[in-house]
Amino acid sequence: MANLEANRWFTEVSDRDGSAFSLRINKKLDEIQSPFQKVEMYETTDFGKLMIIDGCTMVSSLENFFYHEMMSHPALFSHPSPKNVVIIGGGDCGTLREVLKHPDVESVTQIDIDEVVTNMSLKYFPELCESNNDPRATVMFDDGIKFMREAPADSIDVIIVDGTDPVGPGEGLFNHAFYTSCLNALRTGGIMIQQSESPLMHMPLLIEMRNAMRDVGFADLQTLPFPQPIYPSGLWSSTMARKGETFSGFREQDADNARFHTDYYNVGIHKGALATPNFMKRAFEK
């Protein structure tokens, strides 16, 4: 059995979960301490390139499609006509690329606090950045909390919160004030979707998020579990919240007829993700 020598393995020790996850590396490619966080890049033996932020695994070439597709397509196909989209965080640009696959989308504004993340992605994950120059896309670097606070009311159809864990600059993306800003900025029927951590390991946080979204006035919620092989527990989730209307299915026909490439998302996957597992159902009903 291999031992986990520091120079051959990257290990994320997750103290809050009592777990550690390792990937074998060929070499370290880069490391930059930005004003906000430490961003590292590795070349792994089997997962392609690997981005780490503040010691936590963020993106790998092999499996980022689970996350990026589940952060974009379910929300976009649940909205009847998503034209104006905002992404908070998302600096690796993988979610932006997925959103821009939807021909009906007219504008996507991405606001990540940290330009270093995007510069690293441009260098090491060019495939995730291939749509950055789409004329519908605007890539900005600023605090997403401030951006949402200042966003005009009733101006956005879908807000995607593709942020880090609720620590450091991502902490303020998980509270009542931020959700109130998002609610105000959405048009009626608009949808906010946020990465909502592991349903297995972080249920109290997930419940807190859902309660806060309801408290500020979102009309309906859906939490979708999906695989996330390099995050603690391997099971992750996104939570969608709708303004003024309940969710009533999704544009199944359009999803089925979509002419763009996906690696995970399809109609069956979307339906399956809406079938809440019993342990989650019980926790949400408490």
Question: Rounded to whole angstroms, how far apart are CA atoms 235 and 162?
Answer: 16
Minimum distance of ligand SAM from residue 83's CB (angstroms): 22
In the structure encoding, which two tokens stand for residue 110, read together? Answer: 């991405």
Q: With the C-alpha atoms ordered 93, 96, 101, 106, is the resulting torsion angle positive or negative? A: negative
Q: Does 143 help bind ligand SAM (rule: CB under 6 A)? A: yes
Please give the single-letter amino acid code of residue 181.
S
Rounded to 5 degrees, what are φ and ψ at 236?
-130, 180
Candidate segments 22-30, 131-139, 167-175, 205-213, binder of ligand SAM by CB under 6 A: 167-175
Candidate segments 9-17, 19-27, 88-96, 199-207, binder of ligand SAM by CB under 6 A: 88-96
Applying CB under 6 A, which of residues 76, 96, 105, 111 lies at the interface with ligand SAM? 111
Applying CB under 6 A, which of residues 40, 98, 112, 157 lies at the interface with ligand SAM? 112
The answer to whether residue 162 is catalytic is: yes
Are residues 166 and 135 in contact, defined by beta-carbon separation less than 8 angstroms? no
Place of tokens 């291939």: 130
Minimum distance of ligand SAM from residue 196's CB (angstroms): 13
Of 213 and 251, CB closest to ligand SAM: 213
Applying CB under 6 A, which of residues 47, 56, 74, 91 lies at the interface with ligand SAM? 91
Of 170 and 251, CB closest to ligand SAM: 170
Q: Which of 15, 162, 215, 263 is catalytic?
A: 162
In the structure encoding, which two tokens stand for residue 93, read together? Answer: 């640009």
Q: Does 94 help bind ligand SAM (rule: CB under 6 A)? A: yes
Applying CB under 6 A, which of residues 23, 73, 85, 163 lies at the interface with ligand SAM? 163
Are residues 50 and 120 in contact, defined by beta-carbon separation less than 8 angstroms? no
Q: Pick from 205, 241, 250: which is nearest to 220 by CA? A: 241
Binding residues with ligand SAM: total (CB under 6 A): 26
Of 163 and 232, CB closest to ligand SAM: 163
Of 89 and 232, CB closest to ligand SAM: 89
Are residues 50 and 42 in contact, defined by beta-carbon separation less than 8 angstroms? yes
Burial 16-49 (b: 16+ CB within 10 A, else e): ebeeebebebeeebeeeebebbebbbbebeebbb
Count CB neighbours of 7 within 10 A: 7
Q: What is the DSSP string of 241-280?
A: EESSS------HHHHHH--S--SS--HHHHHHHHS--HHH
Alpha helices in the chain (DSSP H): 64-70, 73-78, 94-99, 115-124, 144-150, 176-185, 203-216, 252-257, 267-274, 278-285
Of 245 and 263, CB closest to ligand SAM: 263
Applying CB under 6 A, which of residues 25, 145, 212, 224 lies at the interface with ligand SAM? 145
Minimum distance of ligand SAM from residue 51's CB (angstroms): 8
Site for ligand SAM in 25-64 (CB under 6 A): 58-59, 64
Count CB neighbours of 91 within 10 A: 30
Q: Does 89 help bind ligand SAM (rule: CB under 6 A)? A: yes
46 assigned binding-site residue: no
Q: Which residues bind ligand SAM (CB under 6 A)?
A: 58-59, 64, 67-68, 88-92, 94, 111-114, 117, 143-145, 162-164, 169-170, 172-173
Give binding residues as ranges.
37, 68, 92, 112, 143-144, 169
Q: Which positions are annotated as active-site residues?
A: 162
